[in-house]
Chain A
């Protein structure tokens, strides 16, 4: 009998302790003592949108006409010379930064070199180039779909049908950038033209046969494949593109990029 009473008292005491502990815990969580604010739980950071089309391009003009080297040393082979102006003189020539390397005290930059054949690159000292211009715009040319889509920070901002190169003079594919932007007085090219760093297979045009993005005096051929390599737009569409695209914007020319 005594044992039973002792067990009941013990059980009651344990229950009381549990209740008290719970209450103190609740007090601790609801109101911290001495006015100390509880540490807020860190909010999970939103994951950046991983878009293939979120492209950043960094370009700069040349401030002298020194050589572009195959390796980051002035003792290596020369790829080409830096130039102040584009071949047709419609803009200051820009070069695209690829990667940097420090050799001793000198910072070298691997740059893409706009020249025929496409896809050349070489090394220059950083001090030979001006301040960098950064663009987050991508002009994506889908040759199969005869469509051009403009992305800004990876988000689509404009889309339009386009005319691309004929099967005999196809538009060369690759990753280029806009090197020139200017009004056109030749109706064949419409009211506005962008020059890219892509060189066409058809070499019969002056100044190296640069692939341009431009308007047209034959809008009925768009969408289609009427050109010698250039990307043609209806005049209203090239004027719309002017709002989003400038020198330094990336230009990707691909077959069915949605599938890649």
Chain B
């Protein structure tokens, strides 16, 4: 009985993939994240910093995409059913009001329907506007 309930709870945790992992299908691989280059130039202190386009690929199907600044989630996208095999996140605004000048990082995480996940850190800088050059 305990074994049966264990199976039931596992089945609820994720959708059975139909695009990969079967006898005649390729193995389900870990999702991948690619992004357009982040500008090395510092951003103004407010109101927002725009992330470059980030693309997520999963042969099983994407279940969730999460974008976080420090420990705060700033965007969460959830797909139903088998999810999408590819998704591009364009121009997400990261609120920068109140952030201290200097370096910051945004974390993007993708989880597929088999609960495999991948994450990536994108860094940016808030302008201090106080040059300390030799003058």
A: residues with CB less than 8 A from B are 59-61, 84-85, 88-94, 130-131, 133, 165, 169, 179-186, 188-189, 193, 195, 200, 202, 205-207, 209-212, 214, 227-230, 232, 246-248
B129: which A residues are within 8 A, CB to CB? 182-186
Given the known A-B contacts A85-B125, A89-B102, A182-B127, are A228 and B135 also in contact in the complex, defined by CB atoms under 8 Å? yes
A169 to B125, CA, bound (A): 31
Given the known A-B contacts A182-B127, A246-B41, are A85 and B132 also in contact in the complex, defined by CB atoms under 8 Å? no
Given the known A-B contacts A84-B103, A91-B125, A92-B123, are A195 and B133 also in contact in the complex, defined by CB atoms under 8 Å? yes
A188 to B101, CA, bound (A): 20
A91 to B123, CA, bound (A): 10
Stretch at the interface among B11-19, B32-40, B69-77, B79-87: B32-40
B79 CB to closest chain A CB (Å) equals 27
Given the known A-B contacts A91-B125, A92-B125, A180-B42, are A189 and B131 also in contact in the complex, defined by CB atoms under 8 Å? yes
A51 CB to closest chain B CB (Å) equals 27
A211: which B residues are within 8 A, CB to CB? 133-134
Q: Is the CB of B134 within 8 A of A205?
A: yes
18 A-B pairs besides A61-B38, A230-B134 with CB distance below 8 A are A85-B123, A85-B125, A90-B131, A91-B40, A92-B39, A92-B123, A92-B125, A165-B134, A185-B130, A186-B130, A189-B135, A193-B133, A200-B134, A205-B132, A206-B132, A209-B134, A211-B133, A230-B133
Of the candidates B102, B128, B133, the one whose C-beta lies within 8 Å of that of A214 is B133
A184 CB to closest chain B CB (Å) equals 5
The chain B residue with its CB closest to the CB of A188 is B135
A92 to B36, CA, bound (A): 15
The chain A residue with its CB closest to the CB of B36 is A131
A214 to B130, CA, bound (A): 12
Q: Is the CB of A90 within 8 A of B135?
A: no
B102: which A residues are within 8 A, CB to CB? 85, 89
Given the known A-B contacts A88-B128, A92-B123, are A212 and B133 also in contact in the complex, defined by CB atoms under 8 Å? yes
B68 CB to closest chain A CB (Å) equals 18
Chain B interface mostly = loop
Interface set, chain B 76-118, CB cutoff 8 A to A: 101-103
A47 CB to closest chain B CB (Å) equals 33
A188: which B residues are within 8 A, CB to CB? 135
B124: which A residues are within 8 A, CB to CB? 92
Size of interface on B: residues with Cβ below 8 Å to A: 23
A191 CB to closest chain B CB (Å) equals 10
A60: which B residues are within 8 A, CB to CB? 37
A sample of 14 inter-chain contacts (CB < 8 A) reads: A84-B103, A85-B125, A88-B128, A92-B40, A92-B125, A131-B37, A182-B129, A182-B131, A183-B44, A183-B127, A183-B129, A210-B132, A214-B133, A247-B40
Q: Is the CB of B133 within 8 A of A90?
A: no
B36: which A residues are within 8 A, CB to CB? 131
Q: Is the CB of B133 within 8 A of A189?
A: yes
A247 to B128, CA, bound (A): 17
Q: Is the CB of A130 within 8 A of B132?
A: no
Q: Is the CB of A230 within 8 A of B135?
A: yes
Q: Is the CB of B103 within 8 A of A85?
A: yes
The chain A residue with its CB closest to the CB of B133 is A212
Of the candidates B38, B41, B127, B135, the one whose C-beta lies within 8 Å of that of A205 is B135
B50 CB to closest chain A CB (Å) equals 15
A154 to B129, CA, bound (A): 31
A207 to B39, CA, bound (A): 22
Q: Is the CB of A130 within 8 A of B37?
A: yes
A7 to B54, CA, bound (A): 91
Interface set, chain B 43-81, CB cutoff 8 A to A: 44
A182: which B residues are within 8 A, CB to CB? 41-42, 127-129, 131
